[in-house]
Amino acid sequence: MVTRRKRKSTSLKGLGVKFGATVRKRYGAVYRILKKHRKCPSCGSKRFSRIALGIWHCPKCHFKVASGAYDISTQAM
């Protein structure tokens, strides 16, 4: 029996073949960080997400904070 490696599932949309593997890889890394489930620093709700570039919002307690474009922490990678 042939064992096949399971491919990593990605929820990537928008970038096709034409941009090349390097760009898609970079985009995927950033996109995964962006869509990661976060906890609201104010109430602990998991619905904390970005609503605009650099603006993070919690719909439960209406906590809004300005931070990084793709991540809540703005440490240099």
d(CA 30, CA 24): 10
Least distance from Zn ion to the Cβ atom of residue 73, Å: 17
Least distance from Zn ion to the Cβ atom of residue 49, Å: 11
Least distance from Zn ion to the Cβ atom of residue 66, Å: 15
CB 35 within 8 A of CB 11: yes
Subset of residues 29 to 48 that bind Zn ion, contact rule: CB under 5 A: 40, 42-43, 45
Q: Which candidate, 73, 40, 68, places its Cα nearest to that of 55?
A: 68
Interface contacts to Zn ion, rule CB under 5 A = 40, 42-43, 45, 58, 60-61, 63
